[in-house]
Structure 1
Amino acid sequence: MIGDESERDPAALAVARVGRLEATGSPWEPYRVIDPTGEVIGPVGEFLKELQASGRSEATQRSYGHDLLRWFRFLWAVQVPWDQATRVEARDFCRWVQTGSKPASVRWKQSDALPAVSGGKYAPTTAAHGESVLRAFYDFHVDTGAGPMVNPFPLVRERRRKRLAAHHNPMLPHRNERVGLYRPKLVDRSPRCIPDEKFNELFAGLGSHRDRALVAFFVSTGARASELLGVRCGDVDAGSQLITVIRKGSRATQQLPASPDAFVWLRLYQAQFHGQIQTRRDDPLWQTLRRPFRPLTYHAARAMFIRVNSILGTDYSIHDLRHTAAYRMARDPDMPLADVQWILGHAQLSTTQIYTSAPVEETIATILAHHARRAATPSAPAAITPEYRSESMDVLFPGASR
């Protein structure tokens, strides 16, 4: 129970950006969370090992590690050990994440005289994801007996003892009924599509054949960034216009058809660096443009996209290319929606159906055109009531005076 003894003010709380998430390069322990003294946080390491044993990818472990580091920074600020955290700390942490600002960053300070720069607000999706991660973290330690006896991140009271999907309608898609008590509600947003004219400007602003090939594959296959950046040289079948990716969730290999232009730009990229980079079957297909050549990471690809956005004055992301490809395929009347679902790798057809409606920009343009047509059309004259024929009136009202 939450008592009145808690007088903590999250608005006045100073959470320092201490500790870090460290990449080890080891397949046995890809990431570990380090405390301010440089020591590895053991409970987090045990939880990440559990994730790895459950088949979670390195990207998932990295994402969970960031959420856990945020929680431990909060605990260090309030001076509460992780295994003594109660529902009070969980409540105040969720209030701080949803309402407060990110810890000030000193990464880009030029001197000690300059103030630290605040990172702005946390996104609602960040707060929701963090609540789910911390609830799973404490569930694991409650089960093993290494943590507190009660999970400080509880479920909603009326759903705590329900059997999952006990009264589920089989005609409707499954949803997660076990919602955390402190999980914020998220607003469903329509996927953002890049209009054709903006995409042409963006593509023209790319500075290398590699970037043009990469964007062309993104927008023609609808692959996720991690899937396409993980392609090896032996995964390309230019003769059949196919490229093989490893799916993010299932980790299954799948061949995806791509446009002929994508393979043309890929060939130009390979010809430009012929003899300079390794092109064996197991070598990465996408590499950096400068020596020493290294596999292209997501952050480097994102930096390329940010540079183009800064030139055009736009704010599109790499994931918007996947949405653009999905809209183009789903709105093609000659392409079955089930095929689009297979290409995008969606588990539920209902997820693919969101792309059948018009993009937001197109819908707005259509409504504005409607208003313009209404304004340009002259008002029709008032209808004149027709008179009845006299012989008809005589039949209806014989002998009546009119």
Structure 2
Amino acid sequence: MPTPSAMDRAVRSWLGHLDVERGMATNTLKSYRRDLDRYTAYLDAHGVREPAEVTEAHVTDFLATLREGSADHPPLAASSAARTLVAVRGFHKFLALEGEVETDPAGAVSPPKPPTRLPKAIAVDEVERLLEAASVGDTPASLRDRALLEVLYGAGARISEAVGLDLDDIDTQEGVVRLFGKGSKERLVPLGSYAAEALGAYLVRGRPAFAGKGRGTPAVFLNQRGGRLSRQSAWAVLRAAAERARLSGHVSPHTLRHSFATHLLDGGADVRVVQELLGHASVTTTQIYTLVTVQRLREVYAQSHPRAR
């Protein structure tokens, strides 16, 4: 087995720090690992094998390569390149703080600015059609699918948060659900009567049929074998409901989360309340939804006001 290089040992040290001391999500760690594998391969190809040998020019050139592409990799969009740079900057900052290197070569390198893309939301009547389409008969799977989509929209949950729910995380009497977001951050979110009713019906009349085939998992949403429903299966549930509802365009679990936030703001909710409900660390992330509502106001104004044109 080959001896790990100094660069690889440094990468492992940083990822270990993020995992153990900061409790970073597994998917995020895997993403950082992929980004840094590409980065260290770039450095190695340029004869840089020690963290102390990296200069600001190396980081800047690597960023340019991400945007321009190479023989092995297609060019990345600004948002993807910026995400990769987050891993690179975090890595070098850690090494500098730990005293492994004297300077941080990535600290002054700015990420490319992606164009502002507004979140895609669907109208309230389209959400209702989607939720209705999830209910095909009164089978355990139908009850589960309706409850799943009601939770995604009613709580603004990420798909990983929804399939990660355990029985102890829900209180249908109080209409509250406990979600664990990025970095295992916990938040309580009201469900609303429709979601609470759908979830209650599934737990009483649907889940026991699945649970009898499994090994006693505490997961709320179960598959046909009694195990926890996967993200891929939850995706398939949504895709099938969207097709039955004849919704045009791309509908994803995040579409329901975007719709949750947009409809709250349209209804007059304060942006900081929406921030808490979504589990955003910064209100800046939530404020992009206010752009959606302003755009909607412009559309209504243009269509309705006699002197808009």
TM-score by length of 2: 0.75
Match of 1:187?
A: 115
Q: Is the 8 A contact 1:233 1:284 kept in 2?
A: yes
Summarize deviations over 1:48-102 as a string: whole Å, max 9, x none: 1111343232243233223212313434555642534433432222112122269
SS at match of 2:177: strand
Match of 1:47?
A: 14
Q: Is the 8 A contact 1:231 1:245 kept in 2?
A: yes
Match of 2:33?
A: 65
SS at match of 1:255: strand
How many pairs are equivalent?
295
What displacement does 1:182 show? 4.1
Q: Which runs of 5+ in 1 are unaligned?
A: 1-34, 105-119, 156-180, 378-402
Alpha-carbon separation, structure 1, partners of 2:227 and 2:254 = 23
Q: Are residues 1:255 and 2:209 paired?
A: no
Q: Is the 8 A contact 1:235 1:281 kept in 2?
A: no
Q: Which runs of 5+ in 2 are unaligned?
A: none
Amino acid at match of 2:249: T
Q: Is the 8 A contact 2:79 2:113 kept in 1?
A: no
Q: Are residues 1:326 and 2:261 paired?
A: yes
Q: Is the 8 A contact 1:131 1:183 kept in 2?
A: yes
SS at match of 1:137: helix
Alpha-carbon separation, structure 2, partners of 1:78 and 1:309 = 49
Q: 1:124-203 alignment to 2 at 5 Å? A: 124-144=78-98, 146=100, 149-155=102-108, 181-203=109-131
Residue identity (%): 27
Q: Are residues 1:91 and 2:60 paired?
A: yes
TM-score by length of 1: 0.60
Match of 2:197?
A: 264
Amino acid at match of 1:141: L
Q: 1:235-254 alignment to 2 at 5 Å? A: 235-248=169-182, 251-252=185-186, 254=187
Change (3 A) 1:58 1:341: closer
SS at match of 2:116: coil
Alpha-carbon separation, structure 2, partners of 1:283 and 1:86 = 50
Change (3 A) 1:312 1:56: same
Alpha-carbon separation, structure 2, partners of 1:145 and 1:362 = 51
1 or 2, which has the higher helix percentage? 2
Summarize deviations over 1:114-134 as a string: whole Å, max 9, x none: xxxxxx542322211221221
Match of 1:161?
A: none
> Per chain length, whose mean CA-contact separation is higher, i.e. which structure has more relative contact order (CA < 8 Å, sep 6+)?
2
SS at match of 2:194: helix
Match of 1:295?
A: 228
User: Which has the greater radius of gyration?
Assistant: 1
Q: Is the 8 A contact 1:124 1:184 kept in 2?
A: yes
Match of 1:362?
A: 296
What displacement does 1:232 show? 0.8
Alpha-carbon separation, structure 1, partners of 2:98 and 2:276 = 39
Aligned-residue CA RMSD in angstroms?
3.8
Change (3 A) 1:343 1:143: closer
Alpha-carbon separation, structure 1, partners of 2:239 and 2:37 = 27
What displacement does 1:194 show? 1.6
* Greater displacement, 129-138 / 301-310: 301-310
